[in-house]
Amino acid sequence: MPATPSRSQNTSRRVAAPVAAKRDLDAIYGILSKTYTTFDETDDPWMTNGLSSTPFKSLVSVCLSTMTITKRVVNAAVPLYEKVSTFEELRDLPDDELRRIIKPVAHYNRKTKNLKEMARQIIEDYGGSIPDNRDDLIKLQGVGRKCVDILMNFTLSQDSIAVDTHVLRVLNRLGVVDTTSAKQAADLINAQTPARHKRHAHEWLIQYGMKICVARTPKCAHCPLTKHCDWYAEHRAA
Ligand code: SF4
């Protein structure tokens, strides 16, 4: 077993700490960009199942995806989109039917209420269109910071890096941040990432976190970022 990392999976035991100093993000992204493709270049199930093929689907899919693996999101979203394709249809779908359809995702009871309220907000407060700015997106029921960053980047074409559990783990191990707070990490990484890397940074970081810098035992022997990594310097380099 590897040594227990100081910046890694045990983040739930730490209180949020200030973010750490900036690392050589340009070099890190340069390596990742040569190692990983972007989602639209792969057979990513999110793309192949059309989960973001319309703004409506993008927003609903992102809301379904919190705390849920992609396979389960697909199992809920595909039958849901056979029933509804607009916020009006979502609002009018009976709660029991919506709950039954999205049962594959975590917290489906709460998400049922959130989706119905979100549909109502968009219809009544925003004329049926998804708002195109952070301040209004975050007001939507069930839409948190990560969802906003995903929507900004992938739906509204306003480059933004979403920080989920994989991205947060990677950034902590590298030493780019030192925080349990995804919001703090997102604030820092969005402020310090060079503009030319922001569009695809989330895609590279999440693939890297799922394939190499995995939660339980990072695959450092296959990692191209060892010389940029605090965790490696502390636990593996010797
Ligand atoms: S060397 Fe690479 S895989 Fe290992 S902890 Fe660091 S970033 Fe993760």
Task: Return the ligand 1 atom nearest residue 218 CA.
Answer: 3
Which residue has tokens 């093929």? 53
Ligand 1 centroid – CA 7 distance (Å): 11
Backbone CA torsion sign across 143, 183, 42, 231: negative
Going by alpha carbons, the residue nearest to atom 8 of ligand 1 is: 213
Ligand 1 centroid – CA 22 distance (Å): 17
Separation CA 193–CA 69 (nearest Å): 27
Separation CA 95–CA 99 (nearest Å): 6
Neighbours of 195 (CB within 10 A): 7
Distances (CA, A) of 138 to 86, 133, 135, 214: 20, 9, 6, 30
Q: Residues 211-232, buried b or exposed e (16+ Cβ, 10 A)?
A: ebbeeeebebeebebeebbbbb
Q: Residues 30-60, buried b or exposed e (16+ Cβ, 10 A)?
A: ebbbeebeebeeeebebeebebbeeebbbbb
3-state SS assignment for residue 107: coil
Separation CA 120–CA 143 (nearest Å): 14
Mutate to test the pocket of ligand 1, among 10, 24, 25, 173 (most ligand atoms within 8 A of CB): 173
Task: Return the ligand 1 atom nearest residue 230 CA.
Answer: 6
pLDDT of 13 = 46
Residue 165: burial class (beta carbons within 10 Å; 0-12, 13-18, 19+): middle
Q: pLDDT tens per residue, the chain (238 residues)?
A: 333 334 444 444 454 554 545 568 889 999 999 887 766 656 778 888 989 899 999 999 999 999 998 899 999 999 999 999 999 999 999 999 999 999 999 999 999 999 999 999 999 999 999 999 999 999 999 999 999 999 998 888 889 999 999 999 999 999 999 999 999 999 999 999 999 999 999 989 998 999 999 999 999 999 999 999 999 999 876 5
Task: Answer whether 186 contacts ligand 1 (Cβ < 6 A).
Answer: no
Q: Which ranges in 66-215 belong to alpha helices (H)?
A: 70-83, 87-92, 95-101, 108-125, 134-137, 145-154, 165-174, 182-192, 195-198, 201-211
Tokens read off for 159? 């480059």
Residue 154 φ/ψ, nearest 5 degrees: -95, -20
Ligand 1 centroid – CA 221 distance (Å): 9
Domains of the chain: 9-41+160-235 (1.10.1670.10), 53-154 (1.10.340.30)
Of 144, 182, 153, nearest in space to 166 by CA: 182
Tokens read off for 155? 């739906």
Task: Answer whether 219 contacts ligand 1 (Cβ < 6 A).
Answer: yes
Mutate to test the pocket of ligand 1, among 220, 222, 230, 235 (most ligand atoms within 8 A of CB): 220
Mutate to test the pocket of ligand 1, among 225, 227, 228 (most ligand atoms within 8 A of CB): 225
pLDDT of 24 = 85
Specify the DSSP element, H or E, that contains 231. Answer: helix 230-235
Of 136, 166, 134, 139, nearest in space to 150 by CA: 134
Task: Answer whether 147 contacts ligand 1 (Cβ < 6 A).
Answer: no
Ligand 1 centroid – CA 171 distance (Å): 10
